[in-house]
Structure 1
Amino acid sequence: MEEQRVTRATNICPACGAAFTCGMDAGLAACWCASLPPVLAVPESPVGQCYCPDCLKKKIAASLAPPR
């Protein structure tokens, strides 16, 4: 049986303000975002903040959508 770690929120999403856990900041071997397509760079900010799962999924979908 795989051991599960409970981690507290480590980041605040720069897009929506939601608190979420970055696996890298939490010291995990991998982050949840590693399972998503790598189509976006980390947002430009002084601290290199990542997007929360919902915002990152929306941004990826928008970037993959055909131009109108």
Structure 2
Amino acid sequence: MADTNPPAPVGMAPDPARCPQCGAVVACGVLASTHSAASVRCWCFDWPHLPASARLGAGACLCPDCLRAALAAAGVAIDGTAADPG
């Protein structure tokens, strides 16, 4: 079943539990933790880093599909990394 919850409307704060690009639910390990952020790892920490210029203004975590697309659009190689779907 498709997720029917769209991203936040323009001018509204993004929901940190939803991808700001597609509205999909995002399971961020850091946000979900009750421990200090310094001791918690999220799934995305194992992925290549998205350049700051590509993530400015996002305001929330991207889902795996949108993060993979953003990495590709930024020219970041994902072959052989945790972001590689194959």
Shorter-chain TM-score range: 0.5 to 0.7
- Structure-1 residue corresponding to 2:69: 58
**Do the aligned partners of 2:26 and 2:61 also contact (CA within 8 Å) in 1?**
no
State TM-score, norm by structure 2: 0.53
In terms of mean alpha carbon deviation, does 32-41 or 50-59 score higher? 32-41
**Do the aligned partners of 1:12 and 1:19 also contact (CA within 8 Å) in 2?**
yes
| Cα distance change, pair 50–40 in 1 and its aligned pair in 2 (3 A) | farther
| 5+ long unaligned stretches in structure 2 | 1-15, 77-86
Cα distance in 2 for partners of 1:37, 1:26 equals: 21
SS at match of 1:25: helix
State TM-score, norm by structure 1: 0.65
Q: How does 1:1-68 map to 2 (within 5 A)?
A: 11-27=17-33, 29-41=40-52, 42-44=55-57, 48-64=59-75
Hey, which bits of structure 1, 4+ residues long, moved more than 4 A? none
Cα distance in 1 for partners of 2:29, 2:56 equals: 17
Provide the alpha-carbon RMSD of the alignment. Answer: 2.1
| 5+ long unaligned stretches in structure 1 | 1-9
**1:43: how far off?**
4.3
**How many residues are paired up?**
54
**1:18: how far off?**
0.4
SS at match of 2:50: coil
| Cα distance change, pair 43–11 in 1 and its aligned pair in 2 (3 A) | farther
**In proportion to residue count, which structure has more helix?**
2
